Amino acid sequence: MPVSNTHRFLAAACPFIACCLFSMSTISLADERDQAKRMHDRIAGVPPSPAVLDDMAADILAGNAEDAAFTAMENTAFYDVTLKNLAAPWTNEAMTKFVPLNDYTATVIGLVRDDADFRTVLYGNVLYEADASLGLSGYSIQNNNHYEELENGGYSLKDNLVFVNQSTRNGIPAEATAGVMTSRAAAQAFMIDGTNRALFRFTVLNHLCDDMEQLNDTSLPSDRIRQDVSRSPGGDSRIFLNSCIGCHNGMDPLTQAFAYYNFEYDVDTDPEGVNGRMVYNDVGMIDTFTQSRVQKKYRINANNFEYGYVTEDDRWDNNWRQGRNQLLGWDGTLPGTGNGAKTMAQELAHSEAFASCQVKKVFNNVCLRNPVDEQDRNRIEVITSNFKASGYKLKQVFADSATYCMGE
């Protein structure tokens, strides 16, 4: 029967739907079966089969809620739905989930599945692609077809993602790879046009859970702020001294790590860069504008403030190791300075903020809410400790969060 014929019956069905919705919203207590169902729903996004429900309930009853959580993570929907939609907003400036599967998302999923050190998501020579046995179009640095075919085919991401060294696919040297930051999706979203500051900002936003506004600290030295930042926007230098400087003094010397990267595309025929590609100026490759490896985008609008910083290389420095952003918890074993995206990304990924951010995101994803009180905040700290102790395995965070939020 055509669907439209069935619409006649909706009027009769809808009161029932609303009734159930109302009645369920008042529920607050749960026994082990309800706890298992909630845990599975939250982790996998789908209801458990009766057998899995029984198994998880038994684990919970036996005091092994964590085992139950790991059981839920066996469901492919954990990868196909939960992790995909957790990571999808990180891959675009609009931060929407409504984007096709891409190499950034797939890499996040793969790292979680393989219990990898999740910090490498930012700096590893890592990429996950579809198993060749599926017969899909191969990975391309110039389009996203490979991943869209994988998603549209309904293939299990749990079963069909395979690890490869990113450098073997996107043509940049292994030492220039920086996990998802040098994925094609990130390049298309954040390296397109502009000054590459977007790549830094969104990485910090998505993986340290702070936007530039929260990190604003006007007390730091301003020597690395580039020439393109007007010191008197609209003729009012107060704006610079009170606002702009507080972000750029930290952001610009860190974003210098991306000085050799760009996203090339045909602005006339392909304005969204669907067929564009990330490029990297390796040793010996000279940009005609800068006469160095530095991309032109790092020298644009130089007359906005001619006495600003001129980028000569990809040396980065973390000014946030001074001032109030010390509280982000930088790794004391790292030097806080270096060259290139990989080491800068490692600086970010090895911070306390990175670890706690992953926990907050997963907590929110599983508990469907933010931490609201001291008990929640203490739990976040415990889960973060467990995350680190586990070798930064994100599944552990899902397990701990799901256990905490499975209900009483």
Interactions with other proteins, residue window 341-400 (CB under 8 A): 368-370, 372-374, 377
Residue 306 CB, nearest approach to other proteins (Å):
8
357: closest CA among 316, 326, 329?
A: 329
Regarding 240 and contact with other proteins (CB under 8 A), the answer is yes
When the beta carbons of 10 and 283 are compared against other proteins, the nearer one is 10
Regarding 299 and contact with other proteins (CB under 8 A), the answer is no
Choosing from 65, 70, 71, 82, the residue that interacts with other proteins (CB under 8 A) is: 82
Regarding 307 and contact with other proteins (CB under 8 A), the answer is yes
Task: Name the segment binding other proteins (CB under 8 A); options: 59-67, 79-87, 257-265, 281-289.
Answer: 79-87
Regarding 94 and contact with other proteins (CB under 8 A), the answer is no
x/- track of binding to other proteins for residues 110-139 (CB under 8 A): ------------------------------
Residue 335 CB, nearest approach to other proteins (Å):
16
222: closest CA among 206, 195, 240?
A: 240
Choosing from 174, 267, 285, 382, the residue that interacts with other proteins (CB under 8 A) is: 267
By rule CB under 8 A, what count of residues binds other proteins? Answer: 95
Contact (Cβ atoms closer than 8 angstroms) between residue 155 and residue 161: no
Interactions with other proteins, residue window 137-196 (CB under 8 A): 152-154
The pair phi, psi for residue 339, each rounded to 5°, is -125, 130
Residue 51 CB, nearest approach to other proteins (Å):
12
Regarding 7 and contact with other proteins (CB under 8 A), the answer is yes
Task: Name the segment binding other proteins (CB under 8 A); options: 40-48, 118-126, 196-204, 336-344.
Answer: 40-48
Choosing from 233, 329, 337, 388, the residue that interacts with other proteins (CB under 8 A) is: 233
When the beta carbons of 164 and 239 are compared against other proteins, the nearer one is 239
What are the tokens at 331? Answer: 């790794």
Choosing from 93, 131, 236, 282, the residue that interacts with other proteins (CB under 8 A) is: 236
Alpha-carbon torsion (130, 134, 136, 138), positive or negative? positive
Residue at 209: amino acid letter: C
